[in-house]
Amino acid sequence: MANLVDNSPSLKFYPNDPFKYLKSMQKPFFLLASFLNSSLYNTFQPVTILNAPRKKTSASLVCFMLLLLLAGCAQQQSKEISVPVIFDTDIGNDIDDVLALQMLFNYEKEGKVNILGITISKSNPRVVEYIDGYCRFNGRENMPLGHAYNGVNPEPYRYVPTTLDTLVNGERVLFSQRSLANDIPEGYMLQRQLLAAQPDHSVVMIVVGPQTNIQRLLESEPDEHSNLNGIALVKRKVRLLSVMGGLYTKGSTLLDWNIVQDIKAAQMLFEKWPGGIVVSGPEVGNDLLYPHQSILNDFTDGYKHPLCVSYKAYEPMPYDRPTWDLTSVLYAIEPDAGYFDLSGSGTIAIDSAGNGIFTDNPNGKHRYLKVPEDKKERILKKMVNQVTGKQESTYQ
């Protein structure tokens, strides 16, 4: 057999043992290679190709080509299951946004998602610096960022300035390189640009703060990115919208913070959004508290990890925080994993006070998450592991 040269840095070919190629790959291929090696490679004899009696091939070469095809299919499948995500957040108001963002980064490191961009609904300018630094900390330099100019919540609040200004051994824990001075686009304009570039019905949008950017997206007109208006663009490109907001426990008189910050935006979202919406009300996250032990023990060099620094700056330790935004991320990325129960189909409306009103309707496109008692432990374990990037958290 002639020596073959493969210039790919990820593939190695062994002319005398094609099965060794598969053994050098992931476990499923190693098992397949071992099976073929024992049952085929040692028993098949060289076969003559029709009309070419002097050119012979062997079962090993045939199997190698077959397995190479399978490897290519597996790589293609891996690409296909990477979910394109746009994350709309009000980081800076509550610490659960940072936990949710870390979940997404760990999903991305696993190859399960592709974070297309992050849009910011909190109008404080230092949040841009914080998120830019946090993205760089997770290896995503120059992450596309958008900002809700003249939006809600312009106050700095607690952990954003504290974390940005924290020095450990003379070095900042967040190395941000962008601010509003770097021509950060409007959030809804970035959403239009990102959506227009994606395949139809492919994008998952996760909204875990006031819906200011979403209102502006729905109201947007055709531009250089797309000849569709906002509603038509969303209808064509978005597969699922996962929202943290509203309260759907019967008899409750409480209002959801995300909704009441921009009631007009919330009203438009539920009235005009053309596709499916799955909502996580605060009652879901209230039942699933993120354990402070994880913050203290699960992160390497936690004393300078920006998530841990931010968590400790948000409130005096120790405290366990509701996982509101984390639940929306978990459902958005793994909707078929059975973590949550879902309500029946219906429609959600927001009244003038900010109350979320769910009406059963078999033709409705809105549903909300429910957490049965027997699923709580599994859900919380999954969220903590996804935040920490570990199989087992020390809190368990």
Considering the domain architecture, whether residues 159 and 286 belong to the same structural domain is answered as yes
Q: Is residue 11 part of a domain?
A: no
Considering the domain architecture, whether residues 44 and 128 belong to the same structural domain is answered as no
Contact 153, 179 (CB under 8 A): no
pLDDT tens per residue across all 396 residues of the chain: 333 333 333 333 333 443 343 334 444 444 444 444 444 434 434 443 334 444 444 555 555 556 666 655 555 544 457 999 999 999 999 999 999 999 999 999 999 999 999 999 999 999 999 999 999 999 999 999 999 999 999 999 999 999 999 999 999 999 999 999 999 999 999 999 999 999 999 999 999 999 999 999 999 999 999 999 999 999 999 999 999 999 887 766 788 999 999 999 999 999 999 999 999 999 999 999 999 999 999 999 999 999 999 999 999 999 999 999 999 999 999 999 999 999 999 999 999 999 999 999 999 999 999 999 999 999 999 999 999 998 777 666
Q: Of 56, 78, 100, at which residue does a domain stop?
A: 78
CA distance linking residue 252 with residue 249, whole number of Å: 6
Considering the domain architecture, whether residues 71 and 86 belong to the same structural domain is answered as no
Q: Is residue 370 part of a domain?
A: yes
Considering the domain architecture, whether residues 229 and 307 belong to the same structural domain is answered as yes
Tell me the torsion sign for CA atoms 368, 374, 376, 379: negative
Q: Of 39, 62, 78, at which residue does a domain stop?
A: 78
Considering the domain architecture, whether residues 35 and 122 belong to the same structural domain is answered as no
Full residue range of the structural domain in which residue 56 is found? 18-78
Q: Of 58, 78, 98, at which residue does a domain stop?
A: 78
Considering the domain architecture, whether residues 291 and 240 belong to the same structural domain is answered as yes
Closest to 66 in 3D by CA, of 12, 26, 17, 22: 22
Considering the domain architecture, whether residues 69 and 98 belong to the same structural domain is answered as no
Considering the domain architecture, whether residues 97 and 161 belong to the same structural domain is answered as yes
Q: Is residue 66 part of a domain?
A: yes
Domain total of the chain: 2
CA distance linking residue 28 with residue 13, whole number of Å: 18
Considering the domain architecture, whether residues 38 and 112 belong to the same structural domain is answered as no
In the chain, the amino acid numbered 105 is F
Q: Is residue 5 part of a domain?
A: no
Q: Is residue 13 part of a domain?
A: no
Q: Is residue 147 part of a domain?
A: yes
Considering the domain architecture, whether residues 164 and 24 belong to the same structural domain is answered as no
Q: Is residue 316 part of a domain?
A: yes
CA distance linking residue 361 with residue 111, whole number of Å: 37
Considering the domain architecture, whether residues 68 and 159 belong to the same structural domain is answered as no
CA distance linking residue 386 with residue 391, whole number of Å: 8
Contact 375, 363 (CB under 8 A): no
Considering the domain architecture, whether residues 243 and 326 belong to the same structural domain is answered as yes
pTM (predicted TM-score): 0.81
Q: What is the CATH number of the domain that holds 354?
A: 3.90.245.10
